[in-house]
Structure 1
Amino acid sequence: MSNDVIELILADHRRFEDLFRKLRDNSQDRPAALRELARLLVAHAEAEESEVYPALRRFHDVDDHEVEHGAEEHAEGHQALLALMELDGPESDDWDDKLEELVKAINHHLDEEERTILNAARDTVPEQRRAELGARFVEVRDERVAAGCGDLAHVRELVEATKDRVD
């Protein structure tokens, strides 16, 4: 696996999509898939916001507005994640609706981030800097996972702390 921050972020995005498929599949352990998604999604967003986004703002072709919008979409994703996590599990009557709200919010973010922020970074950020950012991204993401960032209490705190970002 490359240390390029762009490739690492894209690999996480593909993992989110895999986990969405599991969450939709009745034959899968959907509570386990939700726990894994919560850990990775929150850790990924926190690492992007603390390490990647601030570094990318320094490059002229990476739009500040797009970076800020990415952070807003993280907050929207956290709200949708919390709504799903607060249900009584896949047996809940609201599971499918809340899952689709989460999938829609995250897929929208992934699409925009890949088309705008990541494509601009690929064109303007030197390979060496992308590798440095990648190493730091993985380090912070893994630290956040180890700290339990995907637990219900932390997701609630995130939603409360970022509610002003969401339209």
Structure 2
Amino acid sequence: MPSTDVVELILRDHRRMEDLFRTMRNAESDRAAALEEFAHLLIAHASAEEDEVYPALRRYKNVDGEDVDHSVHEHQEANEALLALFEVEDTASEEWDEKLEELVTAVNHHADEEERTLLNDARENVADERRSQLGEAFREARAKYLESGCGSIDNVRELAVSSGK
């Protein structure tokens, strides 16, 4: 039975994103396909966190609300970096490599920080059963976003622009 612990599910997505970054850095691979999978995963993951996980974590006194706000802000930065990469037409170009590194930097920074702050706090302060409930809610929300095609360039553009105002 796969884990339903929300912390484990989030970490699993972070590791998959790292795998996709390796694929996107490889000039021999199908970079466009990897980018497409990455886009859907990133948007579904971040949206599910913002819908289901962050509001719940805010209610714990030992979880810093500023860390939650900061994570939401970093999701926005990742969306903007993702859009910039999407808009580069030639996946073999230097510009593509540059925009990819900007995306990698934004996402890895966020994942690393989230793992050190929010996820560690959740491990320490949120009971196993509650983490499991949050994991179920996260997984359901993430699946709905994935089904909706949330990583399409049009949706990414809308997300990048809407909260960038």
TM-score norm. by structure 2 comes to 0.98
State the match for 1:129 in structure 2.
Answer: 130
Q: CA deviation at 1:26?
A: 1.4
Q: Distance in 2 between matches of 1:94 and 1:15?
A: 24
Runs of 4+ aligned residues of structure 1 deviating over 6 Å after TM superposition are none
Q: How does 1:155-166 map to 2 (within 5 A)?
A: 155-164=156-165
Summarize the alignment of residues 40-79 of structure 1 with structure 2, pairs less than 5 Å apart: 40-79=41-80
Looking at structure 2, the residues matched to 75 and 138 of structure 1 have their Cα atoms a distance apart, in angstroms, of 21
For the residue of structure 2 that corresponds to 1:94, the secondary structure is helix
Identity of aligned residues (%): 55
* Aligned counterparts of 1:103 and 1:31: Cα–Cα separation in 2: 15
One-letter amino acid of the structure 2 residue matched with residue 74 of structure 1: H
Q: In the TM superposition, what is the alpha-carbon distance from 1:91 to its structure 2 partner? A: 2.4
2:8 aligned partner, one-letter code: E
Give the root-mean-square deviation of aligned CA atoms. 0.7
Query: Deviations 1:52-110 (Å, cap 9, x if unpaired)?
Result: 00000011111000000000000000000000001103123300100000000000000
Residues in 2 aligned to 1:87 and 1:93: alpha-carbon distance in whole angstroms: 10
Structure 2 counterparts to residues 118-157 of structure 1, below 5 A? 118-157=119-158
**Aligned with 1:11: secondary structure?**
helix
Contact 2:84 2:99 in 1 (8 A): yes
5+ residue gaps in structure 1?
none
- Report the TM-score when normalising by structure 1: 0.96
**What is the aligned partner in structure 2 of residue 13 from structure 1?**
14
Q: Is the 8 A contact 2:27 2:92 kept in 1?
A: no
Q: Could you tell me which amino acid in structure 1 is paired with residue 50 of structure 2?
A: E
What are structure 2's unaligned runs of at least 5 residues? none
Paired residues, number: 164
